[in-house]
Structure 1
Amino acid sequence: MYKNSKISNYQLFTLLCGFMIGSSLIVSPAAGAKQEAWLAFLIGCIIGTILIAMYASIYRLNPSCTLIEALEKNFGKILGKVFGVLYIWYFIHLTSLVLRNFGEYSVVTGYPETPILFIIVCFSLIIAFSVRAGIEVMGRISEIFLVILTAILVFVFFSLITSFDLENLKPFMTQGIKPIINTAFGIVTFPFGETIAFLMVFPHVIKQEKIMKTSIFSSLFVGLVLIEVILRNTLVLGSNMASRDIFPSHIVFRLIPNLDVDPLLDVNLTVAGIIKAGICIYAASAGIVQLLNLDDYKPFVLPFTALAVSLSIWIYGSIMEMLQWASDIWPYYSIPFQIVIPCILLILSFVRHKRSGKVKNDKSARTI
Structure 2
Amino acid sequence: MLDNGKVSIQQIAILILLASIGDSILILPSAIAGVAGQDTWISCLVGIVLGLAVLAIMLLLARKFPRDSYIQIMNKLLGRWAGGALGAVLLCYTLIIMTTMVREVGDFMVSQMMTDTPLWSIHILLVLIMIFSVRGGIETIGRTSEIFLPIFVIFVAAFLLMTMPNMEPIKLQPIMGKGWFPVMQGSVFMTTMTFTELFAFLFLLPYVKRDKHMERDILLAAGLGGMAVSMVATACILVLGSYISAHHLYPAYALAKKISIGNFLERVEALLAVIWVISVFFKAVVFMYAFNTGVAHLLRLKDQRSLALPVGIILFSLADVIAPNISYYNDVLNKDVPFSDLTFGLVIPLGLLLVAYIRGRMADSSRQGS
Q: TM-score, normalised by structure 2?
A: 0.92
Question: What letter matches 1:102 in structure 2?
Answer: V
The yes-or-no answer on 1:304 pairing with 2:307 is no
Match in the other structure for 1:30: 32
Of 264, 269, 274, the match for 1:267:
274
Runs of 4+ aligned residues of structure 1 deviating over 6 Å after TM superposition are 357-360
| CA displacement 1:260-300 (0-9 Å, x = unmatched) | 43223222222212211111111111111111221110121
Match in the other structure for 1:60: 63
Is 1:74–1:80's contact at 8 Å kept on the other side of the alignment? yes
Q: CA deviation at 1:185?
A: 1.4
**Change over 3 Å in CA distance of 1:355–1:148 after alignment to 2:** farther
Which secondary structure state, in structure 2, belongs to the residue aligned with residue 334 of structure 1?
helix
Which secondary structure state, in structure 2, belongs to the residue aligned with residue 249 of structure 1?
helix
| CA displacement 1:308-366 (0-9 Å, x = unmatched) | 22222212111111111111221123333222221110111233445567788x69xx9
Match in the other structure for 2:293: 286
**Change over 3 Å in CA distance of 1:265–1:251 after alignment to 2:** same
Question: What letter matches 1:320 in structure 2?
Answer: S
**Change over 3 Å in CA distance of 1:207–1:118 after alignment to 2:** same
User: Matches of 2:253 and 2:364 in 1, distance apart?
Assistant: 54
Match in the other structure for 2:229: 226
User: Matches of 2:233 and 2:145 in 1, distance apart?
Assistant: 23
Of 123, 130, 133, the match for 1:130:
133
Which deviates more, 165-174 or 252-261? 252-261
Of 355, 359, 362, the match for 1:348:
355
Match in the other structure for 2:47: 44
Which secondary structure state, in structure 2, belongs to the residue aligned with residue 60 of structure 1?
helix
| CA displacement 1:45-73 (0-9 Å, x = unmatched) | 11111111101000111121111110001
User: Matches of 2:190 and 2:359 in 1, distance apart?
Assistant: 32
Q: CA deviation at 1:24?
A: 0.7
- Give ranges in structure 1 of 5+ residues lacking alignment: none
The yes-or-no answer on 1:181 pairing with 2:179 is no
The yes-or-no answer on 1:207 pairing with 2:210 is yes
Question: What letter matches 1:77 in structure 2?
Answer: R
User: Matches of 1:276 and 1:193 in 2, distance apart?
Assistant: 13
User: Matches of 1:131 and 1:356 in 2, distance apart?
Assistant: 40
| CA displacement 1:93-143 (0-9 Å, x = unmatched) | 110111111111111211112221221111111111111111111112222
User: Matches of 2:281 and 2:161 in 1, distance apart?
Assistant: 28
Which secondary structure state, in structure 2, belongs to the residue aligned with residue 30 of structure 1?
helix
Q: CA deviation at 1:12?
A: 0.7
Is 2:3–2:138's contact at 8 Å kept on the other side of the alignment? no
Which secondary structure state, in structure 2, belongs to the residue aligned with residue 314 of structure 1?
coil
User: Matches of 1:76 and 1:150 in 2, distance apart?
Assistant: 44
- Matched residue pairs, number? 363
Question: What letter matches 1:278 in structure 2?
Answer: V
Question: What letter matches 1:24 in structure 2?
Answer: S
Which secondary structure state, in structure 2, belongs to the residue aligned with residue 160 of structure 1?
helix
**Change over 3 Å in CA distance of 1:359–1:151 after alignment to 2:** farther
User: Matches of 1:50 and 1:148 in 2, distance apart?
Assistant: 29
User: Matches of 1:67 and 1:220 in 2, distance apart?
Assistant: 22
Q: CA deviation at 1:26?
A: 1.9
User: Matches of 1:357 and 1:296 in 2, distance apart?
Assistant: 37
Is 2:3–2:137's contact at 8 Å kept on the other side of the alignment? no
Of 324, 332, 338, the match for 1:331:
338
Is 2:84–2:298's contact at 8 Å kept on the other side of the alignment? yes
Is 2:25–2:233's contact at 8 Å kept on the other side of the alignment? no
User: Matches of 2:144 and 2:365 in 1, distance apart?
Assistant: 44
Is 2:58–2:349's contact at 8 Å kept on the other side of the alignment? yes
Which deviates more, 22-31 or 205-214? 205-214
Which secondary structure state, in structure 2, belongs to the residue aligned with residue 114 of structure 1?
coil
Question: What letter matches 2:33 in structure 1?
Answer: A
Identity %: 27
Match in the other structure for 1:8: 8
Is 2:296–2:304's contact at 8 Å kept on the other side of the alignment? yes
Is 1:27–1:101's contact at 8 Å kept on the other side of the alignment? no
User: Matches of 2:328 and 2:345 in 1, distance apart?
Assistant: 23
- Give ranges in structure 2 of 5+ residues lacking alignment: none
Match in the other structure for 1:88: 91
